[in-house]
Structure 1
């Protein structure tokens, strides 16, 4: 019965990495909470796909920058199933701004990006921690970015917010063990509409061509690639916590 399945709460799961993760975890036996901020129709479609794979689903709007929304997301899972086994902090936002354009970012931009990318993740962790500690086990995966490791990406504010998320992952892993494991994945450039719309089609295609020509694996990430690594931390990796996994085709290595 679906009530006996483990439960995964995935923020920002109406598209991209979050949607791919929801589908994969549904396929692997999880019920899923699908969260969206604006795209209700897309979230409902993801839910249908997960249900076709045998999962029970909840679709709920929430802005993770708001603590009350985070607590309501967690409570919805507890009300339906009485448990939360996994949290995937995937919800994220950015502001596209060339790094040399220091006047292109405002304090408000930093507050907005940190509010979702860093504070939102913390608030979600806080919302699910009591039930995970009570059950004696839980897995949290934070979707950070290679930008937080290398200091590049869509903007300095974005890179900084993801760098903070990586550091927070280590802090939380220390604080929440042994009951809860906390790890992070750091995707590089990921194929999909988010970057295509942010960069524009010409720059998007040029970036893919450049990465394919200059990375050791000669390819760029897909949402499904990232979902596979999230599932690894969620469904296995029982001895691993505080880890940061780079998913960039070797971009961070460069080429001689």
Structure 2
């Protein structure tokens, strides 16, 4: 079974990892609903770029009613929903050591988009996805949720919740819908590049590359490939997995495997 003719929703699909996923899906003949909250211009430009009937749809997926409206827009446009990529997310940068840096509202705000919204999207899409022959969901978690690091404690906690939810829903939605997650490490998107000069960004990425066994600093396109592979019906044996995408950084091999060290 090929992906040709399938329909997908990609939340936060106008930029970064989401946009890279949309492009790869379009190459496979998948029509996409490119969801955005604020990045209207980017999402509409992407829809025009890939063509094939893909559309950009605004929705704040932290709101359940808007999740249901987004799912309806996909069904109305394509008559089906086969694939869902829960990519939209947010954080607040705060040192883990600074216990006063986050409020309860910070936790709830981040959790609402990073964990509750993916659940709401899966729930909204499930009736249509159950009708398809090879439906699949990929949630974008993070190594922060696996190892308790990253931009803040609240972010790590929300992504850990998303990883656990992936396993719960994989169990209850099988065999009709597969549910997996990817947990990227560093990804060179606007989260980093827009906060630095180009020279500082290049140096930062060189440092990141020096710390990974694969000697690389991943970009959005590097993450999109494994996501699309998990969505592919050829991966129908895989569900309930949380795949680490960090160029091997989790192996913690230290200086002995850095470039030039053998």
TM-score class normalised by the smaller sequence: over 0.9
1:75 is the counterpart of 2:59 = no
Deviates more, 1:137-146 or 1:201-210: 201-210
1:25 is the counterpart of 2:22 = no
Aligned to 1:216: 213
Structure 1 residue 39, shift from structure 2 partner: 1.1
Aligned to 2:173: 176
Q: 2:60 aligns with which of 50, 59, 63?
A: 63
Q: 1:134 aligns with which of 98, 107, 131?
A: 131
Structure 1 residue 203, shift from structure 2 partner: 6.7
Where 1:97 maps in the other structure, the secondary structure is coil
Where 1:242 maps in the other structure, the secondary structure is coil
Contact 1:145/1:162 (8 A) holds in 2:
yes
Tell me the distance in 2 between the aligned counterparts of 1:147 and 1:206: 23
Contact 1:151/1:159 (8 A) holds in 2:
yes
Tell me the distance in 1 between the aligned counterparts of 2:44 and 2:19: 11
Aligned to 2:223: 226
Contact 2:60/2:66 (8 A) holds in 1:
yes
Structure 1 residue 96, shift from structure 2 partner: 0.7
Tell me the distance in 1 between the aligned counterparts of 2:56 and 2:213: 39
Tell me the distance in 2 between the aligned counterparts of 1:173 and 1:67: 21
Q: Would the alpha carbon gap of residues 253 and 74 (structure 1) be closer, same or farther in structure 2, given more than 3 Å must change? A: same
Contact 2:136/2:179 (8 A) holds in 1:
yes
Structure-1-length-normalised TM-score: 0.93
Structure 1 residue 151, shift from structure 2 partner: 0.9
Partner deviation per Cα, 1:153-185 (whole Å, 9 max, x = no partner): 111100110010000000000010000000001
Structure 1 residue 211, shift from structure 2 partner: 1.8
Q: Would the alpha carbon gap of residues 200 and 162 (structure 1) be closer, same or farther in structure 2, given more than 3 Å must change? A: farther
Where 2:131 maps in the other structure, the secondary structure is helix
Superposed, 1:1-256 pairs within 5 Å as 5-51=5-51, 55-197=52-194, 204-235=201-232, 236-256=234-254
Q: Which runs of 5+ in 1 are unaligned?
A: none
Contact 1:96/1:198 (8 A) holds in 2:
no
Structure 1 residue 214, shift from structure 2 partner: 1.6
Contact 1:136/1:180 (8 A) holds in 2:
no
Q: Which runs of 5+ in 2 are unaligned?
A: 255-262
How many aligned positions are there? 250
Structure 1 residue 208, shift from structure 2 partner: 2.0
Structure 1 residue 199, shift from structure 2 partner: 6.8
Where 1:134 maps in the other structure, the secondary structure is coil
Where 1:102 maps in the other structure, the secondary structure is coil
Structure 1 residue 45, shift from structure 2 partner: 1.0
Where 1:17 maps in the other structure, the secondary structure is helix
Partner deviation per Cα, 1:96-144 (whole Å, 9 max, x = no partner): 1111111110111111111100000000000010111133531000010
Tell me the distance in 2 between the aligned counterparts of 1:16 and 1:225: 11
Structure-2-length-normalised TM-score: 0.91
Tell me the distance in 1 between the aligned counterparts of 2:175 and 2:197: 45
Where 1:224 maps in the other structure, the secondary structure is helix
